[in-house]
Each structure stands twice: as C-alpha cells, then as structure tokens.
Structure 1
C-alpha cells in the first residue's frame, strides 16, 4: 500500500514528486512511456518552447541553459531525466494506468503491469490526451496523406505535392513555417490569420519577463481579469505569423468546412490538388478511466486548484488549474507546492 501514486512523469508529476519527497512521504510515479521525457521527444523534430530557459525551472533545479535561450524538445527531455535522477524519484515506466477504483479509504489502480493500491492518487497526465480531428477527415481518399500534429515529425514524411495545414495555434503555425520553408510546393493554411501575435522580446526584455512583473501569469481563473483572459483566444508568442502568411508558397484559405474523396471545401475555395494534410486541431481530454470522478461540460474534472470532488484524488498540470501560469513549464511548481501543502 503506497501513501501516494503519481500518474505521469513529465513536469507536473516531477514537481509533485519533489514536494512529496521533501516531506519524506512514500510514493511511486508511474508513466506509460518507456523513458522520461517521451511526451516531448514524440513531437515534431524542430519543436521549441516559447518560454526562455530562465522561466522553465522545476523546483530546486534551474534549467541548464543560458538566460534568453529557447530550449528544444531534446533539451527539455534531458532536463526531466536529470531531474528525476538528481532527486532519485521512484519511477516505474512502461506502466499504463487503465482504471482507478475507490475501495473504502484507498484506491486500486489497474495497469497493464499489475494492480497498485494507494491511499491517494495524483493525476499528472496533462491536458493532451486524445488527438482531435474533425469527423469529415474520414471521407477523404486514402491517396491523401493525413497526420495529426501529435504524430508529425518532419517534412520528409510528406508526399510530393501541396500540403494543407489545418489549425491556427502555436503548433499549426510552427509546422506551417517549417513545411513552407522546406518545399516550393503550395502550402495551404486553414485557420484564423487575424490572431494576435506577441514578439519574444519587447524593449530588450522577454515577453515572459513582462508577464511576470505585470502579474499576467498570476491572476486566478476565478478573478474578473483571470476569467477574461482564460475565455479569450490566446495569442501566438514568438512566431512571426504575418511573414509566414506572406510567403510566396503559402496560401490562406479560411476554415475547412467539408471533404469528399480528393476534394476539400474551405471558406474561400475548393481544393483538389492537396496531397498531404497536417491536422493541428488540438486534443480532447480523457478522464473517463477514473471511476466516479465528476467531470465538467468540457470533459475536464471538476476541482478547486487540483482538489477533486472525490476525496483522495488530485489533479496537477491541467490548463488554468489556477492561473495562466499553470500551463507553463516553470509555473506548475506553484500549483504543486499548493497542492502538496493542502494534502499534507
């Protein structure tokens, strides 16, 4: 019987482990991947953080890079591995949590390896669970190569011919940038081109420095300003969207409306020459494997600062768990400290 089991060994799980170890609690971290940092290593090859190194520290261990450096996915994964080794956390990899059942005053966590019993369970699986693509993608011909951004690696995996990138978030624009640089073929973009963008630096200071001193990252989601920020469309940071859209081989075509075989209907035109589609269309949460957990309309668990309505189950690493900073690599430690203090 464990005192705590943490499910997920990325930034949220590692931050919680730090505080539990400081209190000398018995715990185990489990993760479905074969190595620490795999959730980052599995993304596309040129992925970079839009937060500089000085804002990416986990508790009690600075990110090992110069101030102003924007780490790539390999550096993040390496940092996580070093962090886990430095603090010697008990971690069991290749262990997929399949269900959680409450039995009186403890929990049974069923996994692909064995059943684990624990008095408390901390879910640190993050917000990115099920890659989402619109249903009409199934109507397309098999001759068109389709891949969600979660599985996209490099432009080399694409067929020769025009590519359509669908989705106007950070991932969509970073992938659009990479593909349009790699090929002379037309790269169509389906999404909002009027989205707000912010530079990485203003007046010699990083945008994250400005966010910090103005308190932008610290407004509670329950405050008036926090509600306004959380309900608005988040800006793209550090990617020059306008210059990408103006490239000779990039063609914005509005939102994608429907598909049929080799035809794609968009807001501005009908496409018949597309050979590849990158669906940078986000994710849907999946917490249905946790029995008797109360979910909100958006599919995320009901909670207050990670404290669920089921006694003994806690969440960390969710978007806007408490503030805008909850979704950042360096911000999760504040949520972890609060949650650990509450539990202990």
Structure 2
C-alpha cells in the first residue's frame, strides 16, 4: 500500500509528484498511456503551445528553450520525459483506472490488469476525456471521412474533395487554417463572432500582458473569475478575420442536421463534403470515482482541488480549478503547491474542511 497514488502522468500529475518527492512521501503514479507525453504526441502534427517558454516551467526544472519561443508538441513531450528522469518519478504505464473507492479508510484503485491501495489519492487525468461529436454524425454517408480533432494528425489523412471543419475554438481554427493552406475548399461550421487575440502586442507576449494585468491570477471565486470561467474562451495566435476571408474558406454557420446525401447548415446545404473534422471538444468523465458529487459542468465537487465529498481525495489539472492558469503547463505548479500545503497542514492539525484554510477567496 502506498501513502499516495496519483492517477495521471501529465503535467499536473508530475507537478504533484515533484511536491510529494520533496517531502519524501511514498507515492506512485498510474497512467493509462504507454509512455510519458503520449497525449501530446497523439495530437495534430503542427500543434504548438500558445504560451512561450518562460511560462511553461514545471516546479524544479526550467523548460529548456529560449525566452519567447513557442514549443511544439514533440518538445513538450521530451520535456515531460526529461522531468520524469531528473526526479526519478515512479510510474506504472498502461494502467487505465476503472474504479476508485474508499473502503474502511483506504482507497482501492482498480485497473483492467491490477489493483492498488493508498491512503490518499490525487486525480490528475486532466479535463479531456470523452470526445464529443454531435449526434448527426451517424447520419452522414459512410464514404465521408470523419475524424474527431483528437485523432486528426495532418491533411494527409484526408481523401480528395471538399472538407468540413466543425468547431470555433482554438483547435478548430488551427486545423481549419492548416487545411485551408493546402488550397482545397474548406467549409467552416461555427460562429463567425470569434474573439481572437494575437500572441504578442507592443513587443511583449500576450502572456506577459496577462501576467502584468493580473489576468492569470484572477480566481474562480471572484466576480471577474466567475464571468471569465463561464464565457467563451478567445482564440489565441490565429488571424481569424483573414482566415475566414480566404476564397477557399466558406462559412456555413451552425451545423443543423445531416442525411446520406447532404449536410444542412444555417446557411444552406452541401452535398460535396468528403472529409469532416469534428473539433467539438470533450466531455469530462469522472464517474469511475465512487461517492463523489459533481458541479453543473460534470466536474467533481471540490475546493481548490480538495474533494468536498471524500477526505483524502484530491483533483488537479482541471480548468479553473482555482485560476485561469490552473490547467496550463506553467500554471499547474501553484495548485500542486497549494494541495501539498493543505496535505501537510491536514496531517499535523487534522483539518478536514478545505475552505477553512483560506480567509479570502476573492
């Protein structure tokens, strides 16, 4: 039995592991993937971070690139691998957890191939679990190539003919831009009222400005944080106006329905589409954890990562766990540090109420 088990070996799990290592805790990470960085490597080939090097550091190890550089997915994966090696972080791979439950004060963790026990558990599986695709995808002709953005790699996956990209978030816009560069006709489904922000302004990076004005430190409990966390996130680094003005990019509005012959949109129907990229996001899935409740977005009920339902259960790496930066590579360390402080204080004082430690939440 371990003192701690962390489920998930992404950046949030590794940041938590660093803190446990620094305090000599007996812990183990369980991860569903076959190696470190696998979720990054599975994403599209041209993916780059929106954040420059100086905002991508995990605790104890600098991201090894010059200031102002925007790393690609391969460089992020290599960084995470080096991080594990530097701190000798213990990980068991190919362990997709199917159940976590607390029995007689001890957590029992089950995967398809094994079982584990721990006194405390940190859930670090991130926010992206189940790819969401609108139900109408099942009504589209079988000869149309359909890929969720999770499985999109490059335009080479596409067959000849027109393409449709559905989704107006960062992933959808980046993929739309990449496919449009090939010269083929690309139909775009989603709102055209996209808030786009450049990666730099007046010689400073966007994240420098975010830090300067305190945007990244706004908490989810403040009035500003409540407004920001419930709003549509802006697209960063893509000139959306110029993209949608391209001759080969056709905006169709929202997707309404489909049949074997055509797809219906707000701005008409199309029967020429041969490829579809569904950049329509993910749904969280934490239903394998017993005895927890959920908020209105189906994320576990918690206070700054401390479960409101099960003592000794923690969460890290969720969007707006505490601030805008909670789910980012360079922002997760603050939440890991808070959880470590809470754990140590709880062990010495017996405090069980997570909100009792914080006087001010605004």
TM-score range normalised by the length of the shorter chain: over 0.9
| Residue in 1 that maps onto 2:111 | 111
**Equivalent pair of 1:144/1:262 in contact (CA under 8 Å):** no
Q: Which secondary structure does the structure 2 equivalent of 1:325 belong to?
A: coil
Residue 245 of structure 1: aligned partner: 244
Provide the rounded CA distance (Å) in 1 between the counterparts of 2:147 and 2:134: 12
Partner of 2:312: 312
Answering whether residue 18 of structure 2 is matched by residue 18 of structure 1, we say: yes
- Measure, in 2, the Cα distance between the counterparts of 1:331 and 1:218: 10
Contact preservation (8 Å) 1:262, 1:274: no
Q: Matches of 2:232 and 2:93 in 1, distance apart? A: 36
RMSD between superposed Cα atoms in Å: 0.8
Unaligned runs of 5+ in 2: 345-362
DSSP 3-state at the match of 1:300: coil
Cross-structure match for 1:321: 321
Aligned residue for 1:334, secondary structure, equals helix
Provide the C-alpha distance between the structure 2 equivalents of 1:332 and 1:179, rounded to a whole number of angstroms: 32
Provide TM-score, normalisation by structure 1. Answer: 0.98
Q: Offset at 1:327?
A: 2.0
Other-structure match for 1:333: 333
For 1:174 and 1:262, how far apart are their aligned partners in 2?
Answer: 28
Kindly provide the CA deviation profile for residues 184-232 of structure 1, in whole angstroms up to 9, marking residues without a partner as x. Answer: 2210000112111111111100010000011101011010111111122
Aligned counterpart, 2:199: 200
- Residue 298 of structure 1 corresponds to 297
Residue number in structure 2 paired with 1:141 = 141
Q: Which residue of 1 aligns with 2:178?
A: 178
Partner of residue 278, structure 1: 277
1:108 CA drift (Å) = 0.6
Distance 2:225 2:296 in 1: 20
Task: Give the secondary-structure state (helix, strand or coil) at the position aligned to 1:81.
Answer: helix
CA distance in 1, matches of 2:89, 2:60: 14
State how far apart, in whole Å, the 1-side matches of 2:301 and 2:272 are.
45
Deviation, 1:248, is 1.4
CA displacement 1:282-306 (0-9 Å, x = unmatched): 0000001111111123211000000
- Counterpart for residue 269 of structure 1: 268
Aligned length: 343
Structure 1 segment 151-162 matched on structure 2, within 5 A = 151-162=151-162
The residue aligned with 2:224 is 225
Partner of 1:187: 186
Match of 1:165 in 2: 165
In the TM superposition, residue 99 of structure 1 has moved relative to its aligned partner by: 0.5
Unaligned runs of 5+ in 1: none
Tell me the SS of whatever aligns to 1:59: coil
Task: Find the aligned partners of 1:213 and 1:315 in 2 and give their Cα distance.
Answer: 28
Shift of residue 234, structure 1, vs aligned partner: 1.2
C-alpha separation between the residues in 2 aligned to 1:96 and 1:256?
34
Measured after TM superposition, the shift of residue 30 of structure 1 is 0.9
Distance 1:284 1:343 in 2: 29
**Does 2:93 align with 1:88?**
no
Q: Secondary structure at the match of 1:275?
A: strand
Q: 1:66, 1:227 → 2: CA distance?
A: 35
TM-score (normalised: structure 2): 0.94
**Alpha-carbon distance between aligned partners in 2 of 1:3 and 1:239, rounded to the nearest angstrom:** 45
Tell me which residue corresponds to 2:257.
258
Equivalence for 2:287:
288
Q: Which secondary structure state, in structure 2, belongs to the residue aligned with residue 176 of structure 1?
A: helix
Superposition misfits of 4+ residues, deviation over 6 angstroms: none
Tell me which residue corresponds to 1:126. Answer: 126
